Structure 1
C-alpha cells in the first residue's frame, strides 16, 4: 500500500510538472504569436498572467498532494491496526471476526475482502471438520460396538469350533477303530468263507465216498448172496454125497454078508466091501464136516448179508445226513459269503466314513484357523476403531477451540 501511495504521489508531481510545462509552452507560443504580430505589451502581460497561474496551480497541487499523503498515512495506519486486531482474533480461534471494508478498489480493501473470504472458508471447513468428526465418532462407536460383538461371537464360535473339532477327532478315532474292527471282521469272514468252501468240498467228497461205499456194499451184498446160494448148492451136493455114502455103506454091508456066505470065494470081495464101507464112512464123516462148515459159512453169510443190509442202510442214512449237512453247509457258506460281502461293504463304508471324517477334521481345522485369523482381524479392527474414536475426539477438541458462532 505504501508503494502504491508513493507511486500516486509521484504521479501527482509529474502531472503538476506536466501542467506547468504545458502552461509554459502555451505562454511561449502566445508570446511568439504576439511577437510576430507586434503586440509586445500584450505578450508580457499574458506571460505574467501565465506565471501567476502557474504559481497558483503549483501551490494548489502541492497542498493537495501533502493533504493526500497525510490522509493516506492515517488510513494505512488505521487499516493495519484493524487487520492486526482481526488476525489476533482469528489466531485465538475466533472465526466470527470480520473486517469492515468500504467499496473503494485499492489493495488494502482487496486484502480485507480476501482475508474475510479466507476466514469464511476456514469457518466452513471447520464446520465440515466438526460434522465429520461427529460422524466419525458415531461411526467409530458403531464400528467398535459391532467389532466388540463380533469379537465376542468369534470367541464363542472359536470355542464351539474347538469343541466340535475335539468331538470330530474323537469320532474319527472311533471311526478308525470301527474300520479296523470291520477290517478284522472282513478278514475273518473271508477266512470263514474259505473254510466253508473247503467244508462244502469235503462234504461233496464225503457224499462221493459214501456213494462209492454204497456201491461197494451193494457189490459185497450181491457177492455174499451169491456165496450163500453157492453154499446152499454145496449143501445140497453134500447131502447127496452123504446119501450116496449111506447107500454105499449099506451096499458094503450087504456085500460083506454075501462074502461071508461065499466062504473062501468071497474073502476078496469082503475086503473090497470093507474098504468101500470105510470109504463110505469117511465120506459120511467128510460130508458131515463139510456140512458143519457149510452151516458155519451159511450162518456167517447170513450175518454178512444182515451186516451189509445194515451197512447199506447206514450208508444211505449217511448219504442223506451228508446231503443234509452239505445243504446246511451250503446255506451256511451262502450266509458266510453274504456276511463277507457285507463285511467288505462295511469296510468300504467305514473307510469312506473315516476319509470323510478326516476331511471334516481338516475342514474344521481350517475353519478354526480362519476363525482365529478372523478374531485377530476383528481385534485389529477394534483397536483401529478405538484409535479412530480417540482421533475423532482429538479432532473435536481441536475444532472446539474455534468460535464459529
Structure 2
C-alpha cells in the first residue's frame, strides 16, 4: 500500500491505534498476572505462618496430637481458594495428614525433598506429577514433631477469575474504542479525504487536458479546502502571466541566438587563421632553440674541458715543483755525500799511514825476536824457554806483517773506489743541479700557460653563461608561443562550444516556443 496519500495514512493511523490498544491490553494482562502471583505467594505465606503458630501451640500441649483423627479432620477442613488444602509431612517424606493420600510416601519427589531439607520455611513452586497443575506451597517446620505443615494452592484458582473478568472488560473497552476510531475515521474521510480527491480530479483535468490556463478551480465556502483552491487559482493566474512573458522572451531569444551564431562562425574563421600563423612561428622558434641548445652544450663542454686542462696543468706544476725540490735536495745530499766520501778517503789514507807505522813496528818486533833467539841459544839450557817465547813473538810479527799487507791492499782498493765514487757523485750532483734549473724553467713556463688558460676559461664560462641566458630566454619565448598556441586552440574550442551552445539554444527555444504555444493564455 502506498502511504503517501491522506486516505492510506488515515487507515495506517487506525491500524496503529488498534495495535496500540491491543498491546496495552496484553501489557496490562501481564502486569496483572505478575501482581496476582505476588498476591498468591503472600497469601500462602501468611496461611503457612498462621498454621505454624497454631500447630506449634498444639504440639506444645499435646506431643501426640498429630496421631489423632480429630487433628487430621481439622487440617482437612482447611480450604485455600477453590482447590487448595493443607497436609503434614515428616522427615522421611511420609504424609502424616492429607485429604486423600494420608500415609503415602513422597520420598523422591523433588518438591517434597526440597521441603523436608529446608527447616527455615518458605514457599515453593512446582508442577504436580499427577495432575500437571502448577502449584504454590508454603511450608513451616514444627520442631516438636520434626514435621512440616504445608498449605498449597493451584495457580489456576487465581488466574481463571482474572482471565474471565479481565478479558470481558478489556474486550468491551476495546470494542468501544475501535468503534469510536472507525467513526472518527469516517468523519475525517468525509470532511477531508473526499474534498482532496475532488481537488485532485479537477487539477488533473487542468494539467492533462487542453492546458487552458484560463480555467479555475472555484471551490465555494470558507473551509480550508476553499482557501487552498483560492491559492491554487492565484498560482494558475501567475503561471498564465509567466507563460505570456515567456512566449515573448523566447521569440527574442531565438533572434538573438541566431545572430550570435553568425558572429561565432566569423570569429572561428579568424581564430583558425591565427592558429596557423602561431603554429608556424612556434616551429621556427623551436628550430632556433635547438641550435642554441647545441651551441650552449658546446660552450659548456669547452669550458669544462678547459677547466679540466687547467686542473691538470696545476697538478703538473705541483708535481714539477715537487720534482725540482726532490732534485735540489738530492743534489745537496750528493754533494754532502761526496764531501763525506772525500773525508772517508782522507781517513783511509790516515789508516794507511797507521798501518805503515804498524808494519815498521812488526819489522822491529821480528828483529827483536831474532836477537832474542840468538841470546837464548847462547844461554843454552837456561834460555830454552825464552827461545820458545822469542819464536812465538817472531811468528806473531810475521802474521802481523802478512795481515798488514792484506789490509794495505784492501785499503788501497777502498781508497781508489772512494775516489772514483766521489768523482761520480760530484758529476751526478752537477747533473741534478742542471735538472733543477730546467725544472724551474718548465715550472715558470707552465705557470704562465696556466694564467693564460684561466683567462681562456673565464672567457669560455662567460660565453657559456651568455649562451645559457639566450637559450633560457628562447625557451621562455617557446613556452609563451606554446601558451599562445594552446590559448588559440582553446579559444577555437570555446568558439565551437559557443556555436554548439547557440545551436542548442535555438533548438531549445523553438521547442520551448512550441511547448508554450500549447497553453491557451
The TM-score normalised by the length of structure 2 is: 0.36
**Highest RCO, 1 vs 2 (Cα 8 Å, sep ≥ 6):** 1
Q: Whose radius of gyration is greater, 1 or 2? A: 1
User: Higher strand share goes to which structure?
Assistant: 2
